[in-house]
DNA sequence: TATACGATCACCT
DNA sequence: GGTGATCGTATAC
């Protein structure tokens, strides 16, 4: 079931947690890839010094102020892209960074062993799924090119690990927020 | 116009 | 543990 806009128009931390165990779907050149989200981070509002919108509305951050359920894709370090999902009501800047996912593949042998491919890291994830700036501002509630589907069963709170966000040492006290969520192995 | 640096990763020691 | 690749963005001039 495709996740609708109402799901994203909620508190960013809740969306970040609830996106764990969901399926990230990517349609590219006639193929559809499916990956289970296993790690996310929340970036919430102008008061969050780690959030790109902490310096206000700019051409780059504009998408985060728009309707929830859109993709915010930006280039980082000149060589990687990061995929975020815009959350909260219009005009409140927030997004969930998809940091990691597990590709769903068919068994490789008759012993029914699956070959798990981990897209661990936002840059690697985007590279594999061919996600780049062309998908910035893309509406991910349409079920085309890029969207998310509900995971079954839902991940239980006891299976979710909280920790500090990565690579935001500049964010002062905000670096201590436990806004990184991952599924315990 | 110029410059500093980053929501990363691969590779090195 | 550390560093280089590489360029869009924000900020300063």
pLDDT by position in tens, chain A (length 185): 999 999 999 999 999 999 999 999 999 999 999 999 999 999 999 999 999 999 999 999 999 999 999 999 999 999 999 999 999 999 999 999 999 999 987 655 555 556 789 999 999 999 999 999 999 999 999 999 999 999 888 999 999 999 999 999 999 999 999 999 999 98
Q: Which pLDDT score, from 0 to 100, does residue A146 have?
A: 98
Chain B nucleotides near the protein (CB, 7 A): 5-10
* Residue ranges near strand B (C-beta within 7 Å): A 41, 43, 50-53, 64, 72, 75-80, 82, 84, 95, 97, 120-125, 165-168, 170
Structure token pair of residue A65: 């102020």
Specify the pLDDT at position A115: 73
User: How far is CA A90 from each of CA A9, A21, A42, A53, A95, rounded to the nearest angstrom?
Assistant: 8, 26, 17, 14, 12
pLDDT 10s digits, A80-110: 999 999 999 999 999 999 999 999 876 555 5
Å between CA of A9 and C1' of B13:
47
Q: Tell me the whole-structure pTM to 2 decimals.
A: 0.94
Nucleic acid strand C within 7 Å of A79 CB: yes
The nucleotide closest to A94 (CA, C1' atoms): B7
The CATH number of the domain holding residue A20 is 3.10.300.10
In this complex, the answer to whether residue A134 has its CB under 7 A from any atom of chain C, a nucleic strand, is no
Report long-range pairs for A129-134 (Cβ below 8 Å, ≥24 apart): A129/A24, A129/A26, A129/A28, A129/A33, A129/A35, A130/A26, A130/A28, A131/A26, A131/A71, A131/A73, A131/A81, A131/A83, A132/A73, A132/A75, A132/A81, A133/A73, A133/A74, A133/A75, A133/A81
Looking at the 3D structure of chain A, how many domains does it have? 1
CA A125, C1' C4: Å apart?
22
CA of A80, C1' of C13: distance in angstroms: 30
Full domain range(s) for residue A94: 5-105+113-183
Measure A154 CA to B9 C1' (Å).
31
Helices (H), A19-164: 122-128
């Amino acid at each position: 079931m495709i996740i609708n806009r109402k799901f994203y128009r909620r508190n960013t931390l809740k969306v970040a947690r609830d996106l764990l165990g969901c399926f990230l779907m990517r349609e590219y050149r006639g193929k559809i890839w499916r990956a289970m989200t296993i790690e996310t981070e929340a970036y919430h509002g102008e008061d969050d010094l780690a959030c790109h919108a902490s310096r206000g509305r700019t051409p780059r951050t504009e998408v985060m102020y728009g309707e929830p359920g859109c993709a915010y894709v930006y280039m980082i370090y000149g060589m990687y892209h990061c995929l975020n999902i815009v959350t909260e009501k219009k005009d409140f800047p927030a997004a969930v960074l998809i940091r990691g996912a597990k590709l769903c593949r068919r068994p490789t042998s008759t012993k029914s062993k699956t070959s798990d491919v981990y897209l661990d890291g936002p840059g690697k994830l985007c590279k594999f799924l061919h996600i780049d700036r062309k998908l910035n501002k893309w509406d991910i509630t349409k079920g085309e090119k890029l969207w998310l589907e509900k995971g079954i069963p839902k991940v239980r709170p006891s299976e979710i690990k909280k920790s500090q966000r990565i690579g935001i040492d500049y964010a002062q006290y905000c670096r201590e927020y436990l806004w990184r969520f991952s599924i315990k192995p």
